[in-house]
Amino acid sequence: MADFKLLSREFYLRDGIAVAKGLLGKLLVCRGQDGLAAGRIVETEAYMGAVDPASHARTGKPTPRTEIMYGPGGYAYVYFIYGMYFCFNVVANVKGTPHAVLVRALEPVEGLELMSLRRGTGKRQNLCSGPGKLCGALGIVREHNGADLCGNKLFIAEGEALRPDSVSACPRIGVDYAGEAAAYPWRFLEKGSPYVSKPPLKE
């Protein structure tokens, strides 16, 4: 079993954009009954709470679903979407500031066989190249909502670092309803990675 070096709580207690950029290159790991699966984060999106019309926390008031985002950073926010998929987010910033980072794509690193089994495909580029896909591949489900990412079930660890110039920023996916916020460059990805959900329009 590989030995993982967890990110500190402090890592998460920053604004969503800083955390979204910082997460690139880190390892997202999930231990399940049937084994361990992990991937290197290559694509994220920042959601900035009450000031962000695209955020689930845009109202500024917690609801049963969004409650976890109003706590301190470093916990999982997992929600169900389109009647069939889960999306995994990292809660960012301090208690009372509901920032979150949607993890959109991973470069598969460990448990490839398990991922393939769960996803029903053997193509490495197709295993974790989307928010719904990576949840399927890692076995992330509703029960992971609220999980402590500094814990040992679903967590994030140090990974192979990116070159400083290899991060590109572009508009977020699927948030056209958010008016001008739809154009904010709050999607971050590793330049040239073949494992992102969809190639950026331009770099």
Footprint of DNA on this chain (CB under 7 A)?
Answer: 45, 47, 54-57, 59, 61, 63-66, 77, 79-85, 87, 89, 100, 102, 119, 126, 130-134, 172-175, 177, 197
> Closest CB to DNA among 1 and 84?
84
> Closest CB to DNA among 119 and 191?
119
Q: Assign 3-class secondary structure to 107-150.
A: EEEECHHHHHHHHCCCCHHHCCCCHHHHHHHHCCCHHHCCCECC
Q: Determine if residue 2 is left, alpha or beta; phi over 0 gives left, psi from -120 to 50 gives alpha, anything else beta.
A: beta
> Closest CB to DNA among 29 and 196?
196
> Closest CB to DNA among 27 and 87?
87
Closest approach, Cβ 1 to DNA, in A, equals 28
Closest approach, Cβ 190 to DNA, in A, equals 17
Return the DSSP state at 198.
Answer: S
> Hey, is 102 helix, strand or coil?
strand
Closest approach, Cβ 33 to DNA, in A, equals 21
Closest approach, Cβ 55 to DNA, in A, equals 5
Closest approach, Cβ 151 to DNA, in A, equals 21
CB crowding 24-52: b at 16 or more within 10 Å, else e: bbbbbbbbbeeebbbbbbbbbbbbbbeeb
> Closest CB to DNA among 45 and 190?
45
Q: CB count, 10 Å around CB of 90?
A: 28
